[in-house]
Amino acid sequence: MVTDSSEWVFLLHRLPREPSAPRIALWRAIRRLGALLLADGLVALPASARTIEHVEWLAAGIEEQGGVASVWVARPTAGATTRLLAEQGRASVEDEYRGVMREVEANAELSEVERRRLVRRLRAELRRIGSRDYFHAPGASAARDRVEQLAMAMAETTA
């Protein structure tokens, strides 16, 4: 996901404390998008047509649930702010790639069926992580290579 990170989309929001289901759903959606938590009720994503659209629908959903939300496109006055946010986002996604690597390492002794299942799950996981890897975490290619090696090893044993 290539993004020009000079502009950000902010979601400023407040949801009633109860019921908790919409709050949890919102929290999940924010996590899935890989939005950065800037403050209580304020999350940010690098602005793109895709992220702005997602955030606008989240805002509409919040209002539907009786909350208050507004969407902003913002540009920090100092480049350092962007770098800081980008580092924060990159570090969090990098953690996720490391998690995939750890899963591969921890599953060295698997049957063919288990390995196949693991490859399928980790490929899906990598797709999910990739969709929120706005700042090109360095671990992406290593994690992908590791999972594809596992798939290749599988193909060799089946051949």
Partner 1 sequence: MKWVTREHCHVDRTACAWLIRRSIDPEAEFVFVADPSQLPSDATPFDITGQPFSHHDGASTFEVMVRHHNLAEPGLEALGEIVHEADIEDERYDAPEAPGLDAIIRGMGRLLDDDDLLRLSATLYDGLLAHLAARN
Compute the least distance from the CB of residue 60 to partner 1, in Å: 4
Chain residues that interact with partner 1, rule: CB under 8 A: 25, 28-29, 32, 49, 53-54, 56-57, 59-61, 63-64, 127, 131
**By C-beta, is 57 or 72 nearer to partner 1?**
57
- Residue type for 74, please? A
The secondary structure of residue 14, as a DSSP letter, is E
**By C-beta, is 34 or 89 nearer to partner 1?**
34
**Separation of alpha carbons 114 and 75, rounded Å:** 47
**By C-beta, is 132 or 146 nearer to partner 1?**
132
Q: Is 4 exposed, middle or buried (0-12, 13-18, 19+ CB in 10 A)?
A: exposed
Do residues 45 and 8 lie in contact, with contact meaning Cβ atoms separated by under 8 Å? Answer: yes
Q: Which positions ≥6 away from 69 have C-beta within 8 Å?
A: 11, 12, 13, 14, 58, 59, 60, 62, 63
**By C-beta, is 61 or 76 nearer to partner 1?**
61
Compute the least distance from the CB of residue 149 to partner 1, in Å: 23
**By C-beta, is 73 or 84 nearer to partner 1?**
73
**Separation of alpha carbons 23 and 103, rounded Å:** 30
Q: Which positions ≥6 away from 52 have C-beta within 8 Å?
A: 9, 71, 73
